[in-house]
Structure 1
Amino acid sequence: MRLQKVNEMANYKRILTAIDLSDEADAVLTRAIAMAASDNAELHLVHVVEPLNLAYGGDIPMDFSSVQEQLQTQAEEALQQYAARANIPAEHYHLLSGRPDSQVHELSESIAADLIIVGSHGRKGLALLLGSTANAVLHGASCDVLAVRVGQEE
């Protein structure tokens, strides 16, 4: 294959960046902004709020609705701030609820993303065996996935 064809294949048109709204999200978003700028790509941002009943297996006989509403509101405000810093228009940032990996997959399909960018911690021991959201996104994606290494100790 000629080098020109390889370079043409490397240009992304629509990039979906999944962030967790932690301090490490800045590193992921910075990489996404740079990738989008170099390819002149459309950049989308997504955060998925996992319902508390999923996180706790649904076995706790409590009503989490008010806590869930607070989490949703806080996530919406934080996502808007990230989007504003990156000059991402409102129609290109998405706050979803559900299992993060499946929601990222569905959104990437619906917007026809050709690259998904996620943050990835260096997993060791039990965390490696249990997997991660980044791993789940990677293995279910129908497009390229870039895992940005975050949280590395110096």
Structure 2
Amino acid sequence: MSSYKKMLVAIDLTEEAPQVLNKAQEISKAHGAELLLVHVVEPVGYAYGGDIPMDLTELQDQLDKAAKEQLAAYGKQYGVTDNNQVITVGRPESEIHRLAKEQDVDLIIVGSHGRKGFQLLLGSTANGVLHGTECDVLAVRIH
């Protein structure tokens, strides 16, 4: 197993996030690696296909603010410094790929629900991250 120096852990800020964070913390300690804690907020317009005739800026701002607060709480709990906590807006797979490249990450850690059936082995985000990245990816099974 190679030695990892910088690990990106992508979480969805649900009650399942600690399962991924615990595994990430364990691996980062074993390798003496730096942790980069990431959450990607999907644009509100994506959920509605971009076809709603109203301004969603305030709702998006509220989602961003709530995400920053929750990520900061996880950062404090897991000892991840403020400058290693990233909230970004976009498609999760694309943003994770972009950040991994920009930050010279050598391991990406994501959660996976491991649903039944081969095509659902990984969730769509975990699968999207796996395909198209240049570094190792660890999918942590969510129970």
TM-score (norm 2): 0.93
CA apart distance, 1:59: 1.6
Extract unaligned runs of 5+ from structure 1: 1-6
Q: Distance in 1 between matches of 2:43 and 2:24?
A: 27
SS at 1:43 equivalent: strand
Cα distance between partner residues in 1 of 2:133 and 2:120? 20
The structural deviation recorded for 1:124 is 3.1
Please name the residue that 1:4 is paired with: none
SS at match of 2:131: helix
96, 101, 111: which one aligns with 2:93: 101
What's the counterpart of residue 148 of structure 1? Answer: 140
The aligned amino acid for 1:83 is G
C-alpha displacement of 1:119:
0.3
The alignment partner of 2:7 has SS state of: strand
The Cα shift of 1:69 comes to: 0.9
Query: Following the alignment from structure 1 to structure 2, what is the Cα–Cα distance between the partners of residues 61 and 80?
Result: 33
Please give the residue correspondences for 1:120-131 in structure 2 after superposition, counting only pairs within 5 Å.
120-124=112-116, 128=120
Identity %: 52
How far is 1:107 from its partner? 0.3
Deviations 1:31-78 (A, max 9, x none): 000000000011110000000112221122222111111101100000
The 4+ residue runs of structure 1 with deviation greater than 4 A are none
Q: Aligned partners of 2:47 and 2:5: how far apart in 1?
A: 34
Which of 84, 87, 101 matches 2:76?
84
Residue 43 of structure 2 aligns with which residue? Answer: 51
- The residue that corresponds to 1:17 in the other structure is 9
State which drifts further: 37-46 or 57-66.
57-66
Segments of 5+ residues of structure 2 without an aligned counterpart are none
Q: Name the counterpart of 1:3.
A: none
Number of the residue aligned with 2:29: 37
Rounded Cα–Cα distance in structure 1 between residues aligned with 2:68 and 2:5: 26
CA deviations on 1:107-144 (whole Å, 9 max, x unpaired) are 0001100000000111236x839x51011001011100
Higher Cα Rg, which structure: 1
Figure out how many residues of one structure are paired with residues of the other and give that number: 141
Question: Structure 1 128/56 Cα, relative in aligned 2: closer, same or farther at 3 Å?
Answer: farther
Distance in 1 between the 2:94 and 2:37 partners?
Answer: 15
Matched residue type, 2:14: S
